[in-house]
């Protein structure tokens, strides 16, 4: 939100009070407190009729400093708070007349008491700072007040906002802020973290996260569930400004210094992702949205994929598994599915997991709705006239109030009946269209609940799945998110269109999402809206199967490959089986993500922060730490991509490329830029028919560009989500020595881009 008109002039609507003097400073538990009047105090008389802004700096975790800034101390915001896990560093505070200094871990906070301002320092340098007119309390749209006996006597009638601005260095790039489909580097953008159903082709986001990080080694998490408005080098091009309504603003400065360490710190604070089950990494096949389908149709899809030797792991029933006008009463439409238990049993016997579409909106006219009304389980109208109902999406629908424990349990109990039938997981759709003219059971601020609602919704469903299915078996397919929702994977990219620009914006959104603390992500292969050409379909399949999770889903048409062309069958088969064989590598990276918060699909800046070219790369990514993927975004099959320094071996062709430069190549539909970096080991599994199998058995090790004096290694997981051992390779006496931990069985070893082919396999 912009409060100025140019650098010097404040908007006439703003009425700012700027922090201008570090007048009083004291040490507090784990930190220090600064009282900053709105002007420089020269004598005691200056303190009269003078508002102040109070700033508290406290250590909350290693290299994480929490900043709380407030005007009125006792103001009740009533906003839900993100769940946090705090483990403070030891703090040292030094206060003099010239400055106040707090040291916590590797971070120093330095407050200038002579010329107002504060800065964060690490490794002997200033990381970012806040100074002249950078910290303010805004009395927005203030109306006239008077001391005469009138209605506006001493009336401070305005909208309060707190705003903070932090400096940017030359060449500093800002990333994150959720799954945003605008430019990958956020400099120059105005961003409101307000979830909405806007598709992938707008600045609106399904997953708004008030967290950004930069290429200068730190991140900022604005700890508010309400709408946080960011001005990213936009209102003031030398700063990132962020503002929230109310009398207080809270944020965390998270020091890395590497991008991975920033994500490690952020997710340690807000939560690490659960590990999705291994079977969820395979191909998901959907009925699509508004298509006509029944058991005969769904069986034809499942059997058709099997006949074409295309492995399917999960079958998804979208909305119309329920009757029209009855979403979501969670009752199967018996007109098209007359034998649900039998059908699910038959599908289970084919090795499929079952996923159902749900949302938290309950249409009127159903027994489930009437039960919710009777018990007060929905969001209520503010005028006391019953539940809030709208006709947008479903007729007369009401929304489950997840702040009511009884309502949450009621919702869970209904879902449990579906799990008892044999359903394995849920697509938790929507969660963005949350009205603000409502009353919550726990009295929460409805504006602040607009984004936070999705956290309670997805947490409710995910915890049910954990309880019913056990550890490492719970998985969602969620569309909306806020900070902390990374704990409930997986998320998908929403409603994209069936064309190359939309495919590119989808990837940009996924890369921004990865730099917002989320590790597992998917998208609708070939686009949700409209129907792709065979060309787009086949190119998107390669991208989709080289994402952590992979789903064929659309709106008005089916997405089975034979409806596009014959070659599409072969392309889907090829990349699905390739992913199954790569599962020992991918699943090990997934396990690592649950411990570090580092995403499996990684923007290049995350893996190569020292390479300046990586700052802006948004049409390629790393799949884990060793494999580079560059999807193709045109009908000519032309790939433009960048390889960082080092030797890179194409996984499919074995061609060797020197890094540190851009390339342009042509690829058919069975390939794309898919490179392995030097000194890498990629374990290929023995099963290409399913994603979940004994990864530690009959492994084919591929060793790439191993250099003398280097040790390459890879971890080997089992399907239960445990690392069972490690494989290491090195060159000794012109021989490749491969050391293998116990419980790992190596079937074959292949060396790529190496002149040495003698192999000594040592199993411990």
Residue 663's nearest CA partner among 619, 627, 612 is 619
429 carries an active-site annotation? yes
Q: How far apart are CA 331 and CA 708, in angstroms?
A: 63
Place of tokens 């303010």: 136
Strands (E) located in 141-205? 159-167, 174-178, 189-192
539, burial (CB in 10 Å: exposed 0-12, middle 13-18, buried 19+):
buried
Beta strands in 432-567 (DSSP E): 438-439, 491-492, 521-522, 550-552
Q: 69, 438, 516, 446: which is closest to 227 by C-alpha?
A: 446
- Residue for token pair 């020197």: 658
Cβ 737 vs Cβ 727: under 8 Å: no
Q: Is 15 left (phi over 0), alpha (psi -120 to 50) or beta?
A: left
Each residue of 670-705: b (16+ CB within 10 Å) or e?
A: ebbbbbbbbbbbbbbbbbbebbbbebbbebbbbbbb
Could you say which of 429, 473, 535, 696 is catalytic? 429
Choose the catalytic residue: 261, 401, 432, 535.
Answer: 432
Cis geometry, peptide bond prior to residue 328 (ω within 30 degrees of 0):
yes
Distances (CA, A) of 734 to 368, 656, 707, 748: 72, 21, 11, 19
Half-sphere exposure of 263 (CA within 13 A, CB side): 32
CB 254 within 8 A of CB 266: yes
DSSP 8-state code for residue 709: T
> DSSP letters along 543-599, please?
HHHTSSSEEE--SSS---GGGT-HHHHHHHHHHHHHHHHHHHHHHHHHHHHHHH---
Which listed residue (172, 231, 252, 495) is catalytic?
Answer: 495
Q: Under DSSP, is residue 467 helix (H, G, I), strand (E, B) or coil?
A: helix
Torsion of CA 75, 80, 84, 90, to 10 degrees: 0
640 is catalytic: no
- Catalytic sites, residue numbers: 429, 432, 495
């Amino acid at each position: 939100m912009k409060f100025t008109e140019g650098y010097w002039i404040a908007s006439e609507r703003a009425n700012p009070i700027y922090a201008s003097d570090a007048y009083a400073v004291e040490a507090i538990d784990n930190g220090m407190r600064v009282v900053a009047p709105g002007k420089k105090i020269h004598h005691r008389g200056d303190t009269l009729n003078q508002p102040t802004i109070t700033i508290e700096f406290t250590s909350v975790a290693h290299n994480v400093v929490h900043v709380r800034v407030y005007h009125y101390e006792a103001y009740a915001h009533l906003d839900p708070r993100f769940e946090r896990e705090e483990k403070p560093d030891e703090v040292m505070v030094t206060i003099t007349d010239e400055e106040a200094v707090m040291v916590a871990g590797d971070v120093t906070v330095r407050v200038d008491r002579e010329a107002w301002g504060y800065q964060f320092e690490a490794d002997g340098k200033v990381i970012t700072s806040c100074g002249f007119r950078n910290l303010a309390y805004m009395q927005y749209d203030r109306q006239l007040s008077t001391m005469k006996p009138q209605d506006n006597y001493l009336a401070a009638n305005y909208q309060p906002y707190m705003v903070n601005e932090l400096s940017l260095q030359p060449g500093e790039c800002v990333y994150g802020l959720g799954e945003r489909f605008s430019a990958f580097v956020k400099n120059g953008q105005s961003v409101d973290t307000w979830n909405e159903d806007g598709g992938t082709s707008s600045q609106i986001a399904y997953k708004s996260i008030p967290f950004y990080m930069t290429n200068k080694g730190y991140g900022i998490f604005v700890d508010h569930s309400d709408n946080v408005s960011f001005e990213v080098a936009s209102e003031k091009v030398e700063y990132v400004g962020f503002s929230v309504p109310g009398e207080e603003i809270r944020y965390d400065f998270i020091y890395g210094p590497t991008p991975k360490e920033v994500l490690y710190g952020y997710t340690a604070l807000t939560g690490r992702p659960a590990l999705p089950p291994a079977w969820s990494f395979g191909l998901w096949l959907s009925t699509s949205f508004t298509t006509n389908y029944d058991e005969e149709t769904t069986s034809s899809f499942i059997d058709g994929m099997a006949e074409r030797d295309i492995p399917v792991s999960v079958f998804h029933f979208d909305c119309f598994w329920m009757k029209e006008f009855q979403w979501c009463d969670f009752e199967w439409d018996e007109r098209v599915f007359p034998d649900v238990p039998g059908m699910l049993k038959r599908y289970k016997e084919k090795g499929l997991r079952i996923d159902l579409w749900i949302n938290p909106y309950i249409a009127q006219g159903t027994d489930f709705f009437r039960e919710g009304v009777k018990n007060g389980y929905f969001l209520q109208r503010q005028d006391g006239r019953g539940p809030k109902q709208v006709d947008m999406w479903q007729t007369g629908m009401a929304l489950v109030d997840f702040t009511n424990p009884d309502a949450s349990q009621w919702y869970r109990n209904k879902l449990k009946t579906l799990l008892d039938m044999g359903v394995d997981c849920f697509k938790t759709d929507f969660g963005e269209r949350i009205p603000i003219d409502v009353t919550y059971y726990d009295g929460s601020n409805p504006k602040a609940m607009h984004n936070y609602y999705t956290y309670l919704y997805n947490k409710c469903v995910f915890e049910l799945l954990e309880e019913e299915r056990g550890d490492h078996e719970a998985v969602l397919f969620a569309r909306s998110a806020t900070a902390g929702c990374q704990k409930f994977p997986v998320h998908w990219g929403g409603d994209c269109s069936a064309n190359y620009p939309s495919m590119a914006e989808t990837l940009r959104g996924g890369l921004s999402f990865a730099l917002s603390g989320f590790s597992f992500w998917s998208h609708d292969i070939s686009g949700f809206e409209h129907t792709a050409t065979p060309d787009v379909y086949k190119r998107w399949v390669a991208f989709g199967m080289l994402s952590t999770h992979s789903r064929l889903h659309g709106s008005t048409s089916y997405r089975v490959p034979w409806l596009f062309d014959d070659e599409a069958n072969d392309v889907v088969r090829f990349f699905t089986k390739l992913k199954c064989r790569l599962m020992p590598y991918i699943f090990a990276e997934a396990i690592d993500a649950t411990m570090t918060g580092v995403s499996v699909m990684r923007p290049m800046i995350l893996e190569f922060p020292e390479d300046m070219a990586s700052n802006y790369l948004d049409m390629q990514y790393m799949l884990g730490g060793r494999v580079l993927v560059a999807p193709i975004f045109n009908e000519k099959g032309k790939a433009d991509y960048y390889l960082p320094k080092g030797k890179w071996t194409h996984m499919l062709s074995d061609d060797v490329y020197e890094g540190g430069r851009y390339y342009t190549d042509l690829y058919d539909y069975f390939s794309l830029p898919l490179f392995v970096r030097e000194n890498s080991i990629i374990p290929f599994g023995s099963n290409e028919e399913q994603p979940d199998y004994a990864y530690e058995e009959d492994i084919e090790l591929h060793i790439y560009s191993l250099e003398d004096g280097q040790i390459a290694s890879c971890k080997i997981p089992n399907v239960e989500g445990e690392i069972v051992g490690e494989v290491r390779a090195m060159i000794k006496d012109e021989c490749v020595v491969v050391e293998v931990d116990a419980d790992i069985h190596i079937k074959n070893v292949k060396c790529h881009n190496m002149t040495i082919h003698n192999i000594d396999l040592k199993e411990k």
